[in-house]
Amino acid sequence: MNYEETISQLETTVKELESGKLSLEESIAMFEQGTKLAKTCYATLKNAEQKITLISEWEEQV
Amino acid sequence: MSSILSVSQLNRYVKSVLESDGKLNNVYLRGEISNLTMHYTGHIYFSLKDEEQCIIKAVMFAGKAKYLKFTPKSGMKVLLRGSVTLYEKAGTYQINAEEMVPDGAGALNLAYEQLKEKLQKEGLFAAEHKKELPLFPQKIGIITSPTGAAVQDMFRILKRRYPVGEIILYPVLVQGENAAEDLTNAVKRFSELSCADVLIIGRGGGSIEDLWAFNDEALARAIYACPIPVVSAVGHETDFTICDFAADVRASTPSAAAELVSAVTHDNMLAETAMLINKMTAAMQRRWQEEWQRYERAAQARVLNTPDDITKNRRIVLDMLTARLKGAYTKKLSAEKEAFTALTAKLDTLSPLKILARGYSVTKKDGHILSSVEQAEVNDTIEVVLSDGSFDCMITGRNHHEL
């Protein structure tokens, strides 16, 4: 899952939690899932190191 | 030539002289167009004059005029190739133009304007064809010169604003003879490989001649056909290139392009994640609080706290239920306790040490426990472990037992 997908899932999770329509158990499960997603997002951002590839190298990989 | 000639005879003669001259058959001429008439038949009649205000009449017949890559206008400087001839009826000599191109500084501009108009008519610059830039590009393709400030500027900005993205650099020539072809091939290659989420094509600033490669028709078509959104960044504030028009977004400089593709920066993303975590935590806390309040409301209800208010009958039922519950609980608890004790005892008897204490022993060979006589041979050394120590033994015989 890439960053965009992760963050949008996190957004959905937060929205659901905020809606208050879930049972307490569901809320807790959502919260746990949200925490995991947030950790993933943070890790992606924290470990981000710009990679620069030449097109020729990229073509070799393909 | 003593005989008297008619005018037409003279004109015809002069014409033949002119037309038989090898040099006059193939003349390159430079000048400014004046008195231009575009005849409905497609023939173009005009005069060509130079700085000294010398004039020659010129004609370009429809058969040749249709190949013109521009529309001639009065005042335009042109370069033409043709043959010198004479128009018998008027007795004027003229040049019969075969080919004509715009000349000088105006030439580039003219070709540019005309190409722009052509592509515009075809819809290559249409707003409805423009693609939106992705918010979180994973791969950013950059088509530019690997040397020079432009590429460094883009690297620097992307490193600061968007280190999550991978940059794929396609080094090209951005000026000179092969530049336009290079640029076009690069766009096509990215289209084929589909190895980027957004493309930046550009170079640092320069004169209009330096930027010329970006006014290429094939390049414009490649950009139009490219499925990846393209940002054009031909470093010039005021001059737009054809590439700028064909691209999905135009940036004034390569640096501006780098900022455009990193609209959501690293800091933004961190902030957004933090914001979402805060929201999530707040929502969860609110939920806990609500549940707690709900519980408290229920616990404080009059029925539960003022027993006098409930009917005696109910009170008795409640007491009975409570007693039963308590009894059941105690019973259950003691049963569990007993079961637990029994289990502990059983575990204890199963302990290997307890078994050894009862007179059994464990036989090992090379540290492995033996469970069959097949696992050792006569004369092997084995270890026999008892509860308080062990023997080192040598096997002197082997017997099978059917148990």
Tens digits of residue pLDDT in B166-183:
999 999 999 888 899 999
Please write the tens of the pLDDT for every residue from B185-221. 999 999 999 889 999 999 988 877 788 899 999 999 9
**Which residue in B has a C-alpha nearest to residue A53's C-alpha?**
B168
Nearest Cβ partner for B266 among A14, A48, A55: A48
Q: What is the pLDDT of residues B339-370, one digit of tens each?
A: 555 555 554 555 556 666 767 788 888 888 88
Please write down the HEC assignment for all residues of chain B: CCCCCCHHHHHHHHHHHHHHCHHHHCEEEEEEEEEEEECCCCCEEEEEECCCCCEEEEEECHHHHCCCCCCCCCCCEEEEEEEEEEECCCCEEEEEEEEEEECCHHHHHHHHHHHHHHHHHHCCCCHHHCCCCCCCCCEEEEEECCCCHHHHHHHHHHHHHCCCCEEEEEECCCCCCCHHHHHHHHHHHHHHHCCCCEEEEEECCCCCCHHHHHHCHHHHHHHHHCCCCEEEEECCCCCCCHHHHHCCEECCCHHHHHHHHCCCCHHHHHHHHHHHHHHHHHHHHHHHHHHHHHHHHHHHCHHHHCHHHCCHHHHHHHHHHHHHHHHHHHHHHHHHHHHHHHHHHHHHHHCHHHHHHCCCCEEEECCEECCCHHHCCCCCEEEEEECCEEEEEECCCCCCCCC
> Domain coordinates of chain B in residue numbers?
7-103, 111-264, 271-329, 355-394
When pLDDT is averaged across residues B71-81 and rounded to a whole number, the result is 88
pLDDT tens digits for A3-60? Answer: 888 888 988 988 888 887 888 778 878 888 888 888 888 788 877 788 888 888 777 7
- Percent of chain B with pLDDT strictly greater than 70: 83
Report the chain B residue with the minimal C-alpha distance to residue A45.
B164
Q: Report CA Rg, chain B.
A: 49
B158 min Cα distance to partner chain A (Å): 8
**Predicted pLDDT of residue B384:** 87
**pLDDT for residue B184:** 96
Select from B153, B272, B273 the residue whose CB has the most chain A CBs within 10 Å, as the one to mutate to test that interface: B273
pLDDT, tens digit, for every residue of B33-64?
Answer: 999 999 999 999 999 999 888 999 999 999 99
> B111-264 adopts what CATH topology?
Rossmann fold (3.40.50)
Between B240 and B296, the more confident residue is B240
With an 8 Å Cβ cutoff, are B170 and A55 in contact? yes
How many residues can be counted in chain B? Answer: 403
Which chain A positions have a beta carbon within 8 Å of B279's beta carbon?
Answer: 14, 18
Q: Summarize pLDDT for B248-278 with one digit per residue, the tens.
A: 999 989 999 999 999 888 888 888 888 888 8
Q: Which two tokens stand for residue A33?
A: 């899932």
Q: Check B166 against A54: CB less than 8 A apart.
A: no
Interface touch B279/A62, C-beta < 8 Å = no
- In angstroms, the separation between the Cα of residue A8 and the nearest Cα of chain B is 10
Residues of A in contact with B159 (CB under 8 A): 50
What is the band of B68 on the pLDDT scale with cuts at 50, 70, 90? confident
Chain B positions contacting chain A at CB under 8 Å are 135-136, 138, 141, 155, 158-159, 162-171, 186, 189, 193, 195, 266, 269-270, 272-273, 276-277, 279-280, 283-284, 286-287, 290-291
| Domain ranges within chain A, ordered by starting residue | 3-61
Is A58–B136 a contact, with Cβ atoms under 8 angstroms apart?
Answer: no
Q: Which of B145, B287, B289 to mutate to test the interface with A (most CBs of A within 10 A)?
A: B287
For residue B101, is pLDDT > 60? yes
Task: Report CB contact under 8 Å: B193, A3.
Answer: no
The CA distance from B179 to B213, in Å, is 6
Distance CA B78, CA B30 (A): 6
In this structure, CATH architecture of domain B7-103: Beta Barrel (2.40)
Return the half-sphere exposure (C-beta side, CA atoms, 13 A cut-off) of residue B255: 11
Q: What is the pLDDT of residue B255?
A: 93
Chain A with chain B: Cβ pairs closer than 8 A: 97
The reported pLDDT for the residue numbered B226 is 96
Place of tokens 């997908």: A5
Minimum distance, in Å, between the CA of residue B266 and any CA atom of chain A: 7
Residues of chain B with Cβ-Cβ distance to A51 below 8 Å are 166-167
Whether B168 sits inside 8 A of A13 (CB atoms) is no
Which of 23-52 (A) contact B at CB < 8 A? 24, 27-28, 31, 34-35, 38, 41-42, 44-45, 48-52
Shortest distance, CA B23 to any CA of chain A (angstroms) = 53
> What does the longest C-alpha to C-alpha distance in chain B come to?
158
Element (H, E) at A51: strand A51-54
What is the nearest CA distance from A6 to chain B, expressed in angstroms? 10
Determine the residue of chain A that is closest to B152 in CA distance. A52
Nearest by CB to A10, from B155, B270, B276: name it: B276
pLDDT of residue B98: 92
Q: What is the pLDDT of residue B87?
A: 92
What residue has token string 């003219």? B110
Is pLDDT above 60 for B163? yes
Would you say how long chain A is, in residues?
62
Contact A9, A35 (CB under 8 A): no
More confident residue, B338 or B261: B261
